[in-house]
Chain A
């Protein structure tokens, strides 16, 4: 079975549409969203409606920190993120807000864990931003494979039988075998706000039969997404990020 892993959509309608079209093209069987459907982008309501529709058809959607901030506190956020969240609150109806508030923090299937930020304390939103953080995760989480987002930049961490941790920066269009002899932490890059210098949307496909992971890049109409951010009166920095991918 092919599972598409999509995360950090952040209200980017153009990027999500392009990724979903791509999942249909390659025949993905299942969708798992790792959170942060809103914040930053100009189409939060549309994105939430799409995801709700997909969840009704069997997709899994998890809670991200931006989703949690809609009905919760935004005090921990930087000023740009906070401004975007405050704008986003006015865009969402009651139903949409309830959908976000009810999202689960984690999802487990066998020895595979899906979560937005990290596996050991999902609600503290610690970033898996380097090998040290990955070691913290590996030392406290039993799952054989963990998929998360939150960092926006794709990265693959792995731990050997002797507890040595390695980090690998994945290159596109390439099936990486997630060997059963290792423990894996796969950080999936952002759909709606890539930050590694490449504006194309990120997502990944996990092949459960072959136990391989493929990181993908999907070019999308980021010029339109950036224009809508400006038209919405959101911070200019958010539009620039979409144009430059950083």
Chain B
């Protein structure tokens, strides 16, 4: 059935207002519904005059996945209509343009690229936590809200780990946008959330250098990225700092194992350049030589698509663990007990990233004196102590970071840090319960009550004994 679509046409209670554009597989209309003041957009797949089943399957995929997504990083789903008589999806209209608008302005100043990259990484982590891999991350599929958050649009190629993957079952060819497609996607593996990190790496590379790392290949040329590494960004854009090259090239690793384990870890590095551990990647100024490339080519010949998706598993293998450490004197036994606990967590979760945090409590009203009598910064002293605490853990420096927060309300500061950095687990020490502590309230109980993630409260062996004796179980 062919529908004449024009402004004023009504479809299931939605009135078409303005034709916003037509993409490869769908047209977009601004629509309105009586009694609904929010701006809406209707996506209508182009199914007419086509023997190609791809637009239908992409539409079905979006129809399955979109209603299940929530949060600020996705467009709010409103309604959908079946293939007959008229397929459509109505969703919230995100004002503004996609990142595509930057395409004419590349290369962009690198600090701007870092800001964009961190926003997109946060959005991807939120999506992955909802069991979805996007699989078509590119500038035209990222919008930025007026409030600053990145929004990922277009779920036609996406994969939901708990729903049938209609694309994989219908077709035997790789999907995605060729310049951005991860090597494993080329091999038709649609199961790895780290594919989205590769695509984001391509985007960052493109924005920083003005060139696409793998060009715009067609046909069999797509496979080249399995063995041919891109020209290092600093060779094209000398002002790109080494740490940013490190981050970008890590995203572009052929083997997903060599990339960031999660988008949250990528966001953490983009927002904390000082934490980025520089490797040989940061210093590289030319592409790998023939021997190395040839070895990768040999490996690529044997590469096979893999396993069933395990997005939740991948995320949980590399959790961000915040350990909140009290550095005051008399708390040494508690800090030791926390180190034991972190050691246990590390022995189970091999890729865990540890964020050691101490809060320097500031006064709400008075001007704080943040130096001791000898003029040494308390902040720096705390940092030194934190590093000393962490050194005994014996894990690679890129997997542990140290931060001293200055705040009047330590619990609120910890909870806020956890929220901003996608922390999965907080480990915090606590003293045994006492009448006074119950009256004053403790930092740990406030963190337990307000944290957005799991919290482990650690007590010392001595306090555990005292609790037994007094019969208190706090």
CB-CB contacts below 8 Å: A161-188 with B? 161-162, 164-168, 171, 174, 176-177, 179-182
Q: Within the complex, which residue of A160, A167, A171, A176 is in contact with B170, where a contact is CB–CB below 8 Å?
A: A160
Nearest 6 pairs of A and B residues by beta carbon? A166-B169, A168-B164, A180-B82, A181-B83, A174-B162, A162-B53
* In the assembled complex, B57 has its CB within 8 A of some CB on chain A: yes
Complex contacts, B336 vs chain A, CB 8 Å: none
Q: Is the CB of A176 within 8 A of B163?
A: yes
Contact with B along A179-202 (1 / 0, CB 8 A): 111100000000000000000000
Docked pose: A160 CA to B165 CA in angstroms: 12
Q: Is the CB of B64 within 8 A of A160?
A: no
Docked pose: A182 CA to B164 CA in angstroms: 12
CB-CB contacts below 8 Å: B107-163 with A? 162-163
* In the assembled complex, A152 has its CB within 8 A of some CB on chain B: no
Query: In whole Å, how far is A49's beta carbon from the nearest beta carbon of chain B?
Result: 37
Docked pose: A164 CA to B56 CA in angstroms: 13
Q: Is the CB of A166 within 8 A of B63?
A: no
What is the interface of chain B, defined by CB distance below 8 A to chain A? 53, 56-57, 60, 63-64, 67, 82-84, 87, 162-166, 169-170
Nearest neighbor of B64 in chain A, beta-carbon distance: A177
Query: In whole Å, how far is A210's beta carbon from the nearest beta carbon of chain B?
Result: 9
Interface centre among A168, A179, A180 (most CB of B within 10 A): A179
5 A-B contacts, Cβ less than 8 Å apart? A160-B57, A161-B83, A164-B170, A176-B162, A180-B84
Complex contacts, B169 vs chain A, CB 8 Å: 160, 164-167
Interface centre among B53, B63, B163 (most CB of A within 10 A): B163
Docked pose: A177 CA to B137 CA in angstroms: 25
Q: A166-B164, A166-B169, A180-B82 are in contact. List 13 more A-B contacts (CB 8 A).
A: A156-B164, A160-B56, A161-B56, A161-B83, A162-B53, A164-B169, A174-B162, A176-B163, A176-B164, A177-B64, A177-B163, A179-B82, A181-B82
Q: Is the CB of A160 within 8 A of B164?
A: no
CB-CB contacts below 8 Å: A119-171 with B? 156, 158, 160-162, 164-168, 171
Q: Within the complex, which residue of B57, B63, B87, B170 is in contact with A177, where a contact is CB–CB below 8 Å?
A: B63
Complex contacts, A180 vs chain B, CB 8 Å: 82-84
* Contacts A160-B57, A177-B63, A180-B83 given; does A171 touch B162 at CB 8 Å: yes
Complex contacts, B83 vs chain A, CB 8 Å: 161, 180-181
Q: Is the CB of B162 within 8 A of A182?
A: no
Nearest neighbor of B81 in chain A, beta-carbon distance: A180
Docked pose: A171 CA to B312 CA in angstroms: 13
Q: Is the CB of A179 within 8 A of B170?
A: no
* Contacts A174-B162, A176-B164 given; does A181 touch B170 at CB 8 Å: no
Nearest neighbor of B82 in chain A, beta-carbon distance: A180
Query: In whole Å, how far is B293's beta carbon from the nearest beta carbon of chain A?
Result: 38
Q: Is the CB of A162 within 8 A of B63?
A: no
Query: In whole Å, how far is A161's beta carbon from the nearest beta carbon of chain B?
Result: 6
* Contacts A177-B67, A181-B83 given; does A166 touch B170 at CB 8 Å: yes
Complex contacts, A160 vs chain B, CB 8 Å: 53, 56-57, 60, 166, 169-170
Q: Is the CB of A166 within 8 A of B166?
A: yes
Nearest neighbor of A175 in chain B, beta-carbon distance: B68
Complex contacts, A162 vs chain B, CB 8 Å: 53, 170
Complex contacts, B60 vs chain A, CB 8 Å: 160, 179, 181-182
Docked pose: A164 CA to B82 CA in angstroms: 19
Complex contacts, A167 vs chain B, CB 8 Å: 169
Complex contacts, B82 vs chain A, CB 8 Å: 179-181
Docked pose: A174 CA to B64 CA in angstroms: 12
Complex contacts, A161 vs chain B, CB 8 Å: 53, 56, 83
Docked pose: A226 CA to B82 CA in angstroms: 47
Nearest neighbor of A211 in chain B, beta-carbon distance: B82
Complex contacts, B170 vs chain A, CB 8 Å: 160, 162, 164, 166
Complex contacts, B64 vs chain A, CB 8 Å: 177, 179
Q: Is the CB of B53 within 8 A of A158?
A: no
Docked pose: A177 CA to B131 CA in angstroms: 16
